[in-house]
Amino acid sequence: MKAVICTKYGPPEVLQIKEVEKPFPKPNEVLIKILATTAHIGDTKIRRIEPGLGPVKDFFFKPIMRIIVGFTGPRNKILGMELSGEIEAIGKDVTLFKVGDPVFASTEFRFGTYAQYCCIPEDGILAIKPANMTHEEAAPVSNGGITALIHLRKANIRKGQKVLIYGASGSVGTYAIQIAKYYGAEVTAVCSSSNMELVKSLGADKVIDYSKEDFTQNRDTYDVIYDAVGKIESSKRKKSLSKSGHYLNVLTMSGNIKLKVKDLIFLKDLCEAGKLRTVIDRRYPMEEIVEAHRYVDKGHKKGNVVITIEHNGKT
């Protein structure tokens, strides 16, 4: 099968397409024919070994990450955390899925979705794909959507709260707006001027253009501030929090959360009810994975960058 191999840490050009052995499912695993994955910011950070938490934390973080992920390059040479596709084969002990099922899944730090096929345990973060979504739309929900859900739940999000989402036009941010609205919150979205209409279309009640206004100076306070890009200065965020408010940082929290399949199924139900949709900025075939990573590295994507996977000349 074809797969994208990360040969070493570095720029997008370290990613190369090669022929590798097709995996075979263990007794408790399913073999998935991958039709869509994503250029997730987590993949780009692993490719660079760059956590982006500031110079002091970066100094300590890089050696730790090399121990966890690999010293000279990722131990799992096939990156990719999100997928959507069809089950092609099942292990002898599998009971939850059958051949032909359309599914979406997160492999988390096991990676492996930059390929035509991937094996996942049936009790992994794996569920039947939302019926009203394409594979391209479903793939990002399995990680970006579930991350936003778990983070907001940690703040005990509920009806009537005032929630500010910083970096609201990114993958996690676009999902966070919709999830916060589902729970009945009043949402203020912070983004660039070019993305204001987008976040309004997702349900944001108020929008702040960060290039023209500093939200910490307008005297408004919020029950939850969700930094979906990890860029709010620590000296500023406390000014806008209510006394019992919660500050959430996607970068410092993501390594400490445990994804659960029940949350993926919850999001599937939201999607099918028309309460959650995926924003896709760009689509690239797997053969253009370098260009996809190069675009994500610029830090200006809207929603998600999707990678489509061909099989026998068809996507």
Q: Is residue 238 part of a domain?
A: yes
pLDDT digits (tens, 9 = 90+) for 52-79: 544 444 544 566 666 667 667 788 899 9
Among candidate residues 254, 269, 296, the one where a domain is terminated: 254
Q: pLDDT band at residue 204, thresholds of 50, 70 and 90?
A: very high
Q: Let me know whether 249 and 269 are in one domain.
A: no
Task: Encode pLDDT of 266-298 as tens digits.
Answer: 999 999 999 999 999 999 999 999 999 999 999
Q: Answer whether 105's CB lies under 8 Å from 123's CB.
A: no
Please report whether residue 313 resides in a domain: no
Residue 60: what pLDDT? 44
For residues 183 and 300, the model is more confident at: 183
Q: Which of 234, 254, 274 is the last residue of a domain?
A: 254
| Residue 50: per-residue pLDDT | 60
- Verify that 233 and 102 share a domain, yes or no: no
268 and 130 in one domain?
yes
Please state, for a pLDDT cut of 90, what percent of the chain lies above it.
Answer: 78
Q: Quick one: pLDDT at residue 99?
A: 98
pTM (two decimals): 0.93
Q: Give the structural domain span for 213.
A: 146-254
165 and 62 part of one domain? no
Nearest to 140 by CA among 202, 82, 179: 82
- Looking at residues 245-259, what average pLDDT do you find? 86
Domain count across the chain: 2
* Whether 52 and 120 share a structural domain: yes
Pair (240, 300) in one structural domain: no
Please check whether residue 130 lies inside any domain of the structure.
yes
- The average pLDDT across 226-241 equals 86
Supply the angle between the helices 171-182 and 144-154 in degrees, to the nearest 10. Answer: 50
Residues 87-144 have pLDDT tens digits of 999 999 999 999 999 999 999 989 999 999 999 999 999 999 999 999 999 999 999 9
Identify whether 48 is part of a domain.
Answer: yes
The pLDDT of residue 55: 46
pLDDT recorded at residue 62: 61
315 in any annotated domain: no
Q: Are residues 127 and 205 in the same domain?
A: no
Q: What is the CATH number of the domain that holds 14?
A: 3.90.180.10
Using CA atoms, how far apart are residues 175 and 167, in angstroms rounded to an integer? 11
